[in-house]
Amino acid sequence: MSARVLGALGLLLTFFLFGSVARADLVWSPQSGWRVEGGVLSGLLGEDGRKATDLMNKARTAEEAGNYGRAAKSYERVGKRYGNSVYAPEAFYRAARMRLQRKQYYKAHENFQQVVGRYPNYTRFNEIIGEQYRIASAMLDGARNRIWGIIPGFANREKAVEYFEILLLTAPYSDYAPLALMNIARAHQKLGNDEEAIDALDRMINTYPQSLLTPDAYLKLAQTHASLVEGPYYDQGSTREAVTYFEDFMILFPSDGGVSSAEKGLGDMKRVLAESKMRIGDFYFYKRSNYTAARVFYNEAITVFPDSTVATKAREQLAKVDVAAAKAAEAGKKPRKKFFFF
């Protein structure tokens, strides 16, 4: 029993010690520099604690002097060497801020991710998620990472997509998550990756159905499918998908400002789909004299878009089919002449 009691006391002591570390705050003032407040331990003792404090003060001095490159390196050194201390999250955060000042977006994002990935209880968690979103958005709009903080690199929208996906994994229930998915779709559209854009929009409406951005996602999803339609002579899979999402949008969001745009898009897609049925009906009528099949497709054209010029043409074609079918039936009743071949 005494061993169990000692073990329980040991666990309790560990809990309180780690609780003190978690509650400890790192604060800075021009008079005293960096110091730990609000907790018993900083995660470091003795010489390590002194070295970490000295490095933090060295970094802050460089930061105050506007030497952001040197400050960033010193802060990063603290984060890497003393990762289990109260100094680490603040050091990575400030290093990221210094990298942003130099437009070193890759390193800034990496340092921010160190904080939210390893120290989720850090007080600036939500602020950092917002900064990561802004970095990704800037890169999507063409911002270029600077090599050594001086030389602009190439625009990299693929990296922007990667950063948005990381944000979704890190903070899937934040206010930035739906925005990230919408931007992923926008990035893929810029890159010509229509299937990936559709996937991002589909994830958006299924994962965040109550978001204020959901109506826009439905409309963009319909419009993206519509952009893949090549005309009545080609496969109509994208046309049907576009029709479905335009109709869903109009049913779910009847008072949205995009309804007029959806109505036009729906009319365009129905016309293409009806014309496709007409082309198939013409094939069976003129090329195969298959009047039954022709009637089926002409009727489908009318059903798809009844109040249209396409439907009017389909009705005219049905009348022609009836005449041709009657002639064929009459010809079938007459006795055929016999021919002899030698």
Q: Could you read off the pLDDT of 9-37 as tens digits, one per residue?
A: 444 444 344 444 445 677 777 767 887 77
Q: What's the token pair of residue 247?
A: 């109709």
As a whole number, mean pLDDT of residues 306-325 equals 94
pLDDT tens for 76-108 read 999 999 988 889 999 999 999 999 999 999 999
Q: How far apart (Å, rounded) are the C-alpha atoms in residues 88 and 81? A: 8
pLDDT tens for 249-291 read 999 999 999 999 999 999 999 999 999 999 999 999 999 999 9
Q: How far apart (Å, rounded) are the C-alpha atoms in residues 100 and 111? A: 10
| Residues 227 and 241 sit within 8 Å (Cβ to Cβ) | no
What domains are defined for the chain?
A: 212-327 (1.25.40.10)
The residues facing 147 across adjacent strands are 151
Whether residue 324 is predicted with pLDDT greater than 70 in this model: the reply is: yes
* Helices 176-191, 214-227: inter-axial angle, 10-degree rounding: 10
Query: What is this structure's pTM?
Result: 0.81
* Mean pLDDT, the chain, whole residue set: 88
Long-range contacts, 20-27 (Cβ 8 Å, 24+): 21/86, 22/121, 24/86, 25/86, 25/123, 26/56, 26/86, 26/87, 26/90
302: closest CA among 285, 329, 284, 278?
Answer: 278
